[in-house]
Amino acid sequence: MPFRFTELELPGVILIEPRTFTDERGFFMETYKHRDYAAAGLTDAFVQENHSRSTRGSLRGLHFQRQPAAQGKLVRAVVGEIFDVAVDVRPESPTFGRWIGQTLSADNRRMLFIPPWCAHGFCVVSESAEVLYKTTAEYAQEAEGGLMWNDPDVAIAWPIINPILSERDRRWPSLATLASAHPNAIAV
């Protein structure tokens, strides 16, 4: 099989390791094959692909979209290295507020599937990084939501100290504020 699928400590978050073929020219790998993904339980179709480039210390996130536009994501770094994070934002979930982080890089070629019920973010730990990610729903501004990157109740162990953030990412609320002030705000 061209992929190894490993469910991580946060059920539904899947680490995907593609089989890579290397020779004197470089390498070749399949990054997505519907049949193999479906056999591993990843049956949603991807409808949009995004590409970002960021410099060392940049942090993007934590973002999610509410229904009916909640997005599952298949994330990989094609240049450089990132620390990629998923946080369960389902208030009724036994893992609400828990996070999982993985190092994704051009060298390790790992990918992470992040379910639609997670907030997602990453930080760049190399000089720069380029990230590609497929989504299961198109971007919808009206469905956009976010979570404070350094929420002390979530306590993500980011490998950077003073990240470079967008103005929007500086303003996201804590998970507790989001859940109490807007009960349907995180209905993913």
- For the chain, 188 residues long, give each residue's pLDDT as a single digit of tens: 689 999 999 999 999 999 999 999 999 999 999 999 999 999 989 999 999 999 999 999 999 999 999 999 999 999 999 999 999 999 889 999 999 999 999 999 999 999 999 999 999 999 999 999 999 999 999 999 999 999 999 999 999 999 999 999 999 999 998 888 655 555 55
Q: Which amino acid is at 17?
A: E
> What's the predicted TM-score (pTM) here?
0.93
Q: Of 32, 63, 120, 139, which one is the catalytic site residue?
A: 63
Question: Which superfamily, per CATH, for 3-181?
Answer: Jelly Rolls (2.60.120.10)
71: part of which helix (H) or strand (E)?
Answer: none
| Structure tokens belonging to residue 3 | 């992929």
**Is residue 93 within 8 Å of 180, Cβ to Cβ?**
no
Token pair 């990843």 is found at 42
- Cα dihedral across residues 14, 9, 66, 133: positive or negative: negative
Helix (H, G, I), strand (E, B) or coil at 89: coil
- Active site annotation includes 63: yes
- Active site annotation includes 120: no
